[in-house]
Structure 1
Amino acid sequence: MHTAYVIVTIAAALWVGFSAVSLLRRAPFVVDPLVAYGVPQSWWTPLGIAKAAGSIGLLLGLAVPPIGIAAAIGLILYFTGAVITVLRAHSYKTVAFPVLYLAPVAVALGLGLVS
């Protein structure tokens, strides 16, 4: 079980880290939907930093579990907010995208709590 936890946590951290870098670099495939959802541009950098911090926290959690737990909870709240934002924008066809980030973080948290 511990091996699965490590693999899923590293994969989730890399996946969320990719999303953070993409947002901070203003990649069109990330920021175009944010514009459509009505997310103010002034929020983009703080949101990217939050994702980056969560990604780093997941990795640190492999050595210091309370940090990983806190990071996972924060990211779960972050991506739950993203799902709500997408739904409020009535963009039902894109709601799967934040769920694709939420799911591995939730699995990593669950495996971490069991390990």
Structure 2
Amino acid sequence: MFALYLTVTLLASALNGSAAVANLIGHEYPKTEADRNRIPRSWVRPLGMLLGAGALGLLAGFVVPVVGTLAAAGLVLYFLCALGAHVRAGNFRLGAWALFFGLALAALAVNLAYHRGA
């Protein structure tokens, strides 16, 4: 069980961390997605900070398990809100969203399963 917990958590942290970096450095992709979803570009960096906090929280969960659980739950909520933004804007290109959401949900599930069994 630990191997699954470790793999999913590291993968979710790496993916969200890379997305956070893209947002924070002002890469064009997050800006284009913000425009497509009718989100102000001024929100791109704060949203990147939330992604970064989630990624770091997942890693901190190896030391303080409740932090990892809360970070995974926060990422699930983040991506549910992102789905709402996509639907509101009529943007049904949800491939990347599904990957990020699925990984956040998997991180939450394995986190809860691993720590419940411990």
Query: Which TM bucket (shorter chain)?
Result: over 0.9
Name the % identity. Answer: 33
Q: Secondary structure at the match of 1:63?
A: coil
TM-score, normalising length: structure 1: 0.94
Shift of 1:83: 1.1
User: Could you tell me how far apart the structure 2 residues matched to 1:78 and 1:105 are?
Assistant: 9
Across the aligned residues of Structure 1 and Structure 2, the Cα RMSD in angstroms comes to: 1.0
**Aligned residue number for residue 36 of structure 1:** 36
Structure 1 unaligned blocks of 5 or more = none
User: Could you tell me how far apart the structure 2 residues matched to 1:50 and 1:30 are?
Assistant: 14
Contact 2:30–2:44 (CA<8 Å) still a contact in 1? no
**Aligned residue number for residue 88 of structure 2:** 88
Amino acid at match of 2:76: I
1:37-83: CA deviations, max 9, x gaps?
11112211111101000000000101111000110111110011111
Contact 2:26–2:45 (CA<8 Å) still a contact in 1? no
**Aligned residue number for residue 108 of structure 2:** 109
Aligned residues: 114
Amino acid at match of 2:45: T
Amino acid at match of 2:87: L
Structure 2 unaligned blocks of 5 or more = none
